[in-house]
Amino acid sequence: MTPDAQLELVTADGRRVSTESAPCPLEVRGLTVSYGEKPAVFSVDARFPSGSMTAIVGPNGAGKSTFLKGALGIVRCLAGEIRFFGRPFKETRRDVAYVPQRASVDWDFPARVIDVVMMGLYREVGLFRFAGSRHRARAIECLSRVGMQDFADRQIGQLSGGQQQRVFLARALAQDAELYLLDEPFAGVDAATEHAIVTVLKELKAAGKTVVCVHHDLSTVSAYFDRVMLINMRKQAEGPIAEAFTPETLQATYGGRLAASQIDELRLGSA
């Protein structure tokens, strides 16, 4: 892998196509993050092609969230090179939206739903300025895309878990980015929310955006995503579902924690 060339994509049938016009939204090389003496993520290489929808899957504590945080520079990396759209993150922040885990914030914070969504307009509003009615309208529009427009003035503490997650997604939509990085957006949400989120993510993909999700539910991987990255400290597999989401790669990632019968079921589901 060299930095200049390799602007190539491998299509589903294995053909290499050149994509000179679109640099890879996120390319990670040799990413190692360690809390203390044991690496959480070790020497991971990954590419997330433009317009793809990738699930990052692995057991608990396998470094899925850490991988995202390392790529975004939220945690310090021990080693590794990270490129967003072929450039350092500093220069491409505008094109990247990040949705942290819902549980990572205090929902008792004194703010309304609309206040949270408008945080996504931070870069647009600009330094030393306040959001105006134009920004408010944008925020409402993003809320309606996740079906939350009636909750704009609700205190965020009064929301259910699923509604909180939708607000977070609306905030990311407000950023109008090219690449969306989501950390466990489906964790602990109700079925209606899960459906709403998937719909929005597929819309994003249809609009040519790139989506990367940390995901924990193996049974929905093949229904929701077109690519997968299996990780258990090391990257175990990466690629289109058909290639990378196999009994062998799952066994390698989860080991005996996943019974062979379950794996067969997953395969049937994706077939």
The residue among 21 and 261 lying less far from another protein, judged by its C-beta, is 261
Please give the Cα distance from 260 to 51 (Å, whole number): 33
Is the CB of 74 or the CB of 137 nearer to another protein? 74
Q: Which residue has the tokens 């993909």?
A: 205
- In 10 A of CB 78, how many CB atoms? 15
Shortest distance in whole angstroms from residue 86 CB to another protein: 14
> Does 263 interact with another protein (rule: CB under 8 A)?
no
Does 90 engage in binding with another protein (CB under 8 A)?
Answer: yes
- 15 is a contact residue toward another protein (CB under 8 A): no
d(CA 9, CA 17): 5
Cα dihedral 87, 178, 239, 185 sign = positive
Q: Extract the tokens encoding 130.
A: 């306040």
**Only segment of 46-54, 119-127, 218-226, 237-245 that touches another protein (CB under 8 A):** 119-127
Tell whether residue 28 is a contact of another protein (CB under 8 A): no
Residue span binding another protein (CB under 8 A) among the ranges 17-25, 186-194, 200-208, 212-220:
186-194
Q: What's the CA gap between 116 and 148, in Å, rounded?
A: 13
Burial of 139 (0-12, 13-18, 19+ CB in 10 A): buried
Is residue 53 classed as helix, strand or coil in its secondary structure?
A: strand
Q: What does each C-alpha distance from 243 to 12, 17, 139, 261 come to in angstroms?
A: 9, 18, 39, 20
Residue holding tokens 């990413």? 31
46 binds another protein (CB under 8 A): no
End-to-end CA, the chain: 32
Q: Does 167 bind another protein (CB under 8 A)?
A: no
| Block residue for tokens 């967003």 | 84
Instruction: Name residues contacting another protein, limited to 199-228 (CB under 8 A).
Output: none
264 binds another protein, rule: CB under 8 A: no
State which residue, 187 or 226, has the beta carbon closest to another protein.
187
**Main-chain dihedrals φ then ψ at residue 255, nearest 5 degrees:** 60, -145
Q: Least separation, in Å, of the C-beta of 157 and another protein?
A: 3
**Between vectors from CA 118 to CA 112 and to CA 123, what angle results, nearest 5°?**
150
The minimum distance between CB 253 and another protein, in angstroms, equals 9
User: What is the closest distance, in whole angstroms, from the C-beta atom of residue 263 to another protein in the complex?
Assistant: 13
Stretch that binds another protein, among 47-55, 97-105, 197-205, 261-269 (CB under 8 A): 97-105
Nearer to another protein, 4 or 21 (CB): 4
Q: Which residues bind another protein (CB under 8 A)?
A: 1-3, 29-30, 32, 34, 37-39, 42-43, 69, 72-74, 78-81, 90, 93, 96, 98-100, 104-112, 115-116, 119, 122-123, 125, 128, 130, 155-162, 164, 171, 188-190, 193, 233-234, 248, 251-252, 254-257
